[in-house]
Amino acid sequence: MEIYIHMIKELEIVLFLHLRQTSTDFAKNMLYNRIKEMVSMKEAFEKSLQMIKILNIKSEEEYNKLLHHYLLLSAESLKYIAQERDFNKIIGLA
């Protein structure tokens, strides 16, 4: 999916750098933690999009009200991950 292209590129860079280094436990742990963090971010992104769809959110202001009640990514985080400036396009993705 296009949304995760920059995350995949970042993972490729991390893997490349890891392969160039010696295979130490520290490097392996660092790589494992980074991959785990990226997977968590993807899950949080998908959960946020599902909430937009389920609750039929129509604006960024409406979405921001949800942040007080649910553990969701901020509107700015969604925009960054989706590489979009317009929140209406994020709503379209949902």
Q: Rounded mean pLDDT of 38-65?
A: 88
Structural domain tally of the chain?
1
Per-residue model confidence (pLDDT) at position 59: 92
Whether residue 29 is predicted with pLDDT greater than 70 in this model: the reply is yes
pLDDT in tens, 53-81: 999 999 999 999 888 888 888 899 888 88
Domain span at 28: 2-93
SS3 readout for the chain: CHHHHHHHHHHHHHHHHHHHCCCCHHHHHHHHHHHHHHHHHHHHHHHHHHHHHHCCCCCHHHHHHHCCCCCCCCHHHHHHHHCCCCHHHHHHHC
Q: Whole-angstrom Cα distance, residue 70 to residue 19?
A: 39
pTM: 0.63
